[in-house]
Amino acid sequence: MLSEGRPFCKKCLLLDIDPEGLYKKVSELIEAMPDDVKADPDEYWRRLEICRGCSCLENGICRECGCFVELRAAARKNYCPSAYHFW
Ligand code: SF4
């Protein structure tokens, strides 16, 4: 459950909003990805820092594509869906 009445930043990653709920489930999915599918950790965090500053991020979800950005950023082959291709 997202924040349960507590104030939260709309432009946050799931990690910031719900570390024990949805983020935990997304993390398990990322963990289960084969190594050759995953982005390397530096690239993963570089992507997420860009998402944190993006106006399309809302409650951990990219409004361009509807993905959880943490999950989208985790796959090496993925890219930012914006016309600007931020990453
Ligand atoms: S448009 Fe790109 S940078 Fe912005 S939240 Fe979506 S994936 Fe992240």
Summarised one tens digit per residue, pLDDT across range 7-36 is 556 678 998 888 788 899 999 999 999 999
Query: How far is ligand 1, taken at its centre, from the CA of residue 35, in Å?
Result: 23
Bridge partners (DSSP) listed for residue 75:
38
Please give the share of the chain, as a percent, with pLDDT higher than 70.
89
**pLDDT at res. 8:** 58
| Nearest CA, atom 1, ligand 1 | 82
Long-range contacts (CB closer than 8 Å, 24 or more residues apart) made by 41-44: 43/76, 44/73, 44/74
Task: Report how far ligand 1's centroid is from the alpha carbon of 74 (Å).
Answer: 13
Q: How far is the CA of 58 from the centre of ligand 1 (A)?
A: 10
What confidence score (pLDDT) does residue 6 get?
A: 57
Residue with CA nearest ligand 1 atom 7: 80
